[in-house]
Amino acid sequence: MIRLGLLIFTALTLFGCASAPKTNLYDDIGGKQTLHKVYGLAINRIYNDPVLGPHFEGVPKRHLRTELTNQTCELIGGPCEYEGKSMHEAHADRNVTDAEFFRLVEHVQQAMRLIGLTYEQENRILAALAPLKEQIVYQAD
């Protein structure tokens, strides 16, 4: 009987001390609604930017916001599926420079800060997006 009691005590102690499962970044930031807010703010800044704005002439804000939201959602563990063009295909004729790319990233960072994402959350999102740079920065020969 003592052994059974000890076994139950041990099991309860082990299971009771188990930490809760860690959430993914998507859940951690508040999901798609948060991404939608980030890109709403960032896109307004980007379209009003004298350097970046011309790159987006003819691209509806709503379309860009939806595409960026879905792409980021997918990249950070959310349930979304990005179904747009590849980054290379979407940017091949735009001759995006490193400076322009980083300027856009700054607008996204400022939007993340404005809505209250933590520095860690911001860095994790940017780390998920960073591999796309090599497909976006492209200059025709």
Token pair, residue 74, equals 């997918």
Q: How many Å apart are CA 123 and CA 125, to the nearest integer?
A: 5
As a whole number of Å, the end-to-end CA separation of the chain is 81
Give the residue numbers of the binding site for heme.
91
The model's pTM: 0.80
Domain 26-135 class? Answer: mainly alpha
The C-alpha atoms of residue 75 and residue 64 are separated, in whole angstroms, by 16
Going by C-beta distance under 8 Å and a sequence separation of 6 or more, which residues neighbour residue 27?
77
pLDDT > 50? residue 130: yes
Binding-site residue numbers are: 91
Q: Which pLDDT tens digit goes with each residue over 37-51?
A: 999 999 999 999 999
